Amino acid sequence: MITRQDLKHLQSLTPVPALSILLPTHRTFPDNKQDPILVKNLVDQAKARLGEEFSVRELERLLERLDALVSEIDYPHTLDGLALYVSHDFAKLYYLPFSIPARVVIDQTFATRDLVYGMHRAQRYWVFLLSQASTRLLAGTGETLEEIHDKNFPMEMTEPGGTTALPFDSDSSYLDDRHRRFFQQVDSAFTENYYTEDKSLPLIVGGVVRQVSFFQEVSQHASAIAGTISSNFDKATVSELAPQTWEIVQTVRQSQQADALQALDDAISAQLVVSTIEEAWQMAQAGRGKLLLVEKNYHVPAILNESGKFELVEAVGGSDVMDDAVDEIIEAVLAMGGKVAIVDDGALADHRHIALTLRY
């Protein structure tokens, strides 16, 4: 899945022009037959818009990178969305486990708002399936699960009670202790290699009840466990697991939105909130943004005038126009250590679709 590190890298780049091509894709035949057509149409649109702003010589390197990137798309193995980011010296594509609107964005920075939205809307999380035979780690994004296969996972218990026999005179307490130590190793590997990216991600733990209990005893992330599922998952497929984990994830997502709206109410009472896009931009740039709440389909183009303030415009187009000012605010808040909550349309009807709580 796309990581927070990927997102931060994209947001750190400031090429001009920065071309972003975003579109929904399809996982199965025959729906995925339309994906190459949509890509071609969006690429043609991008080239036409670029040609209006820049000379052929200025665009030569970028267009070469764009054509090469498009040729790399593996259409039979796409997910629910596709994002292509191209500049004169950068080209990268991402297969996304969530759908995004079809858009061409030409701006001073890459358009990452849809990725931020998708990562929030399609809640990211981890799933542990505990077993001394083969403890499995899965990365979740919404209803999509991807199993991790690397030097750490799946992880076998190679000590007595796992792949080797127990001592002749051992009892159940000895085996319980071996399991605790093994799950401590599992937890340490997870902490060192995966959990550094985003410590706010919830964790779902599956396994037989006794092993889940042992993991909860020894894990450094017990407070992050959002739910458990009880069974032997040694042979469970990803498709079999998805409905059980998704039920827990939906509860987490609803709770997070409720918490964000409560934080907004508290900030209103303390008079620490702004509710216009212009004020949100100014406070975000000043580093005062604590929590940004945005309705999921709120997009507005704007320009930044000579005094450093937003001026909203009616349509995208032109190198001076930010195709989506909301994207810029999201990036500014995250860059200054703030948080972002994407909420349902209509949830911020009293706040012009956007609200920023302030640190002071």
What does the pLDDT read at residue 156?
Answer: 92
In the chain, where are the structural domains located?
4-121, 124-255, 270-358
Q: State how far the alpha carbon of 133 is from the alpha carbons of 137, 154, 188, 192, 313, in Å.
A: 13, 9, 18, 22, 60
H-only helix segments in 231-299: 238-269, 277-285
Fold equal for 4-121 and 270-358: no
Q: Average pLDDT for residues 55-71, to the nearest whole number?
A: 96
What SS3 state is found at 324?
Answer: coil
Q: Which residues lie below 8 Å from residue 271, measured CB to CB, with a gap of 6+?
A: none
Q: Domain 124-255 carries which CATH code? A: 3.30.420.60
Task: Identify whether the C-beta of residue 351 lies closer than 8 Å to the C-beta of residue 279.
Answer: no
Q: How confident is the model over 239-249, as pLDDT tens digits?
A: 899 999 999 99
Percent of the chain, pLDDT > 70?
92
Q: How confident is the model over 117-136, as pLDDT tens digits?
A: 677 666 789 999 999 888 99
What does the pLDDT read at residue 229?
Answer: 96
Task: Identify whether the C-beta of residue 233 lies closer than 8 Å to the C-beta of residue 323.
Answer: no
Q: Average pLDDT for residues 5-26, to the nearest whole number?
A: 90
Class of domain 4-121: alpha beta
Lowest mean pLDDT of 42-51, 85-94, 132-141, name the range: 132-141
Quote the pTM value: 0.70
Res. 68: pLDDT tops 90 = yes
Q: How confident is the model over 274-296, as pLDDT tens digits?
A: 998 889 999 999 999 999 999 98
Res. 222: pLDDT tops 90 = yes
Q: Which CATH architecture has domain 270-358?
A: 2-Layer Sandwich (3.30)
Concatenate the DSSP letters of all residues of 80-115 into one string: SEEEEEEETTEEEEEEESS----EEEEESS---HHH
Q: Average pLDDT for residues 338-357, to the nearest whole number?
A: 92
Confidence of residue 342 (pLDDT cuts 50, 70, 90): confident
